[in-house]
Amino acid sequence: MVLMNPVISKLTGKLVVLASASPRRLEILTNVGLRFEVVPSWFKETLDKRLFKTPHEYAVETAKQKALEVKQIYTFECLWFLNFGYYLLYTVLVVFFSQTVDGLILEKPVDKQDAYRMLSRLSGKEHSVFTGVAIILCHEKEDEEIDYQVIDFYEETKVKFADLSDDLLWEYINSGEPMDKAGGYGIQALGGMLVEYVHGDFLNVVGFPLNQFCKKLGLIFSPPGSLTHNSAQTSPQGSPVDTVPPCSENGEDEPQGTSDPAAPDLTSRGTMQMQNVRENETEDGKEKLSKMIELMDGFKASKVLFTASKLHVFDVLRSSKTGELQAEDVAQEIKASMKGTERLLEACVSLGLLQRTGKEYANTAMSRHFLLSDGPLSLQGYIQHCNELVWPLFTHLETAVREGTNQHEKAFGKSSDNLFQDAYYSRHEVKLRFMKAMHSIAKVSGRDVATAFDLSKYKTACDLGGCTGAMAYEFAKAHPGLSVTMFDLPEVIEMSGHFRPHDADDRVSFVAGDFFKDELPKADVYILARILHDWSDEKVHILLSKIAKACNPGCCVLVSEIFLDEDRKGPSRGLLQALSMTEGRQRSASEYSLLLKSHGFTTAQVKHTHNLLDAILCVAE
C-alpha cells in the first residue's frame, strides 16, 4: 500500500499495542504490514446508551475507555526504555464496533434467540455500522516522563439486508457464526449472503475502518509542526482525538510482532523478553491471566472509587471554571498531600473515572452522570454506604463464611439483629446515610423498573418499604393514571421530606407503618423493590401472606430484585451481595416465581432490565 509507506518509516522502533483480540482486526492490520502487540482490554461494554445522543458517540467513548485502560499497563514499560536512552513511542489502538437499526444499538447477541431478534430486525432494512477508534499517542516530555494525547474518530457504513425468511435466518444462526459478531452477522463469511448492498467502507463492516485509519496516520506523521505537544486532530466526523500505528503490504500471519525490522535490537532488554513470553502464550491463556489479575486487584479499584468519592474529587473538578484542574489544585481543594492526590487521580484515569490532557484532569462522561453528589443519577449515596458499611463487613468475610453469620459486631463493635432496623433507629446521620444509599439505587434503576410492564389498567399502587419515595415517584411518572402510596416505618416517613423532588407529583402519598405488623393500604399493585432478599423465609412468607390477603383477584405483585442466573454462572452481583450474610437470600426469577405461586400469584412477565434491578410481575388468582 503506497499510502502507508511514508508512515511505516516513522514508526521504526516504536511499540504499537492493539487493545483488541478480534481475529478480524488482527487479520486486516497484519495484512497491511502493521506489527503490534495484542493486549485485550477488560473494560466492560456497559456504558448507558441513553446517555449518548448518537450511536457513534457511544462507540467512540467505549473505544476511548478501553484504550485508556490498556495504556496504563504500558506506561511504566515505556519509562523503562526512556531510562536506557531510547525514544520509544507506543500507541494503544482500540476499536469498538456497533450496528444500528431503527435508532437501536445492536452489539453481540447473547444467545440464539437474541441473534434471531437482531437479524429479523435487520431483514429488508438498511442499517448503519459504526466503528469507534481511539488512539493514544505517547511521547517523552523534557523531564523524561511520558505524556500522551488521545485521538478518536468513527466510521459509518450503510448496509442493506435482503428480505430474509425465518428458515434462512435459523440456518445461518445454527451455523454459529453470529454469536461473536456485532449485529449478529459477519459480512466477510456466510453473513455475506444476507446483504443486498453496502455503501461505504466494506472493511469497516468486517471490523476495522482501514481507509480512514490510514488517512489519520498521514495527518499525524505529516511535516513537523502538524502535531504539536498540546494539539489535537479533528476527524471529518469528529472529535479531538489521539493517534495510532502503521501499515504496509506484507503477507505475514503473525499479528503480534512489536517493531519494524529496521528498529534497534531491543530483544535483549528485560521488558522485551517478557513481551516475547507473552507472544508465545495462547490467547485463551492471556484471557485467563487477565481475568485472574482483574479479580485479584478488584478490591483496589473499589477502594479508589470510594476514596475519590469521599474526598469529593469529582465535585471539585466539576466546580472549576473549565472543568479541569491540575493535581496540585485538587490536592489543595481536598486538603490532601500532592503525592497522594496525584496517584489517586492517575488511578482514577486508569479506571475510566477521570481523563487527563497534559497536566489537567477532568471528569469523564461516566463520572459526570453517576459520581457528582447532586446529579440526578448520582450513586454517591450508595458508594458511601458501601464504603462505610459493606466494606468493613467484607473485611471479615473469612469469619462470616466460617460462621455463616454477618460480622456486624466485629466490624462495628455492636451486635444487630437486623442492619436496616439498626440504621433506622440509630443516629440521625447514620439513618440519613442509609436512606441516601437506597435513594441513589432507586433513582438509577427506578425508571427501568417502573416501565418494565404495562400497568395502564391499574389505578392504585403501594410501594412497600419504599424508603425515600424515589421508586414511587418513578411509577407515578411512568403511569399517568396510577396513584402510588409509599408505606414505610414512621422514622423513615419523617425523613422522606429530605428527598422530595421539586416537581413532586401529588399522586404520591406517604403512610407510616410496619408491613409485618400493621394493616397494609389497599392497592391494585404492590411493589416490593429490594425487600424480599433481606428477610428470612419465615418473614417473607408472613409478608406475602398479608399481601395475598389484601389482594383481590386480578391485582398483582411487582417484585424488583437482582435476579440470579438459573445456573448461577452469570453476573455475580447478587451472589457477592449474599456474602454479607443477612438473614435473607438471593433468588433467581424462577425461584421468585415459585415463591409467589405458593401464595396464590401466577407469574405474568419477567423483565431483565440490564440495570441494577430486574423485575417480575405476578397476578393474584
How wide is the angle at C-alpha 604 spanned by C-alphas 599 and 608, nearest 5°?
110
Phi-psi region of 427 (alpha: psi -120 to 50; beta: other; left: phi over 0): beta
Length of the chain: 621
DSSP state of 93: E
Q: Output the 3-class SS for 502-537.
A: CCCCCCEEEEECCCCCCCCCCCCEEEEECCHHHCCH
Helices and strands per DSSP (H, E), number in the chain: 24, 19
- Of the residues 127, 385, 439, 533, which is catalytic? 533
Which residue(s) pair with 17 in the sheet?
A: 37, 92
Q: Where are the beta strands (DSSP E) in 193-259?
A: 195-199, 233-234, 240-241
Catalogue the long-range contacts made by 255-258 (C-beta closer than 8 Å, 24 or more residues apart). Answer: 255/18, 255/26, 255/27, 255/29, 255/30, 255/36, 255/38, 256/36, 256/37, 256/38, 257/35, 257/36, 258/15, 258/16, 258/35, 258/36, 258/37
DSSP state of 588: B
Asked if 37 and 256 touch (Cβ cutoff 8 Å), the reply is yes
Q: Where are the beta strands (DSSP E) in 144-223?
A: 146-161, 195-199
CB atoms within 10 A of CB 445: 23
Give the contacts of 92 (CB within 8 A, at least 6 positions apart): 17, 18, 19, 67, 70, 71, 74, 134, 135, 136
Compute the 3-state secondary structure of the chain and give helix, strand, coil in percent, each to the nearest 5.
Answer: 45, 20, 35
CA atoms within 13 A on the CB side of 477: 16
Closest CA to 408 of 539, 398, 537, 400: 400
Asked if 385 and 345 touch (Cβ cutoff 8 Å), the reply is no
Cα end-to-end span (Å), the chain = 71
Mark whether 533 is an active-site residue: yes
Asked if 51 and 120 touch (Cβ cutoff 8 Å), the reply is no
CB atoms within 10 A of CB 150: 22
DSSP state of 163: P
CA atoms within 13 A on the CB side of 501: 17
Active site residues: 533
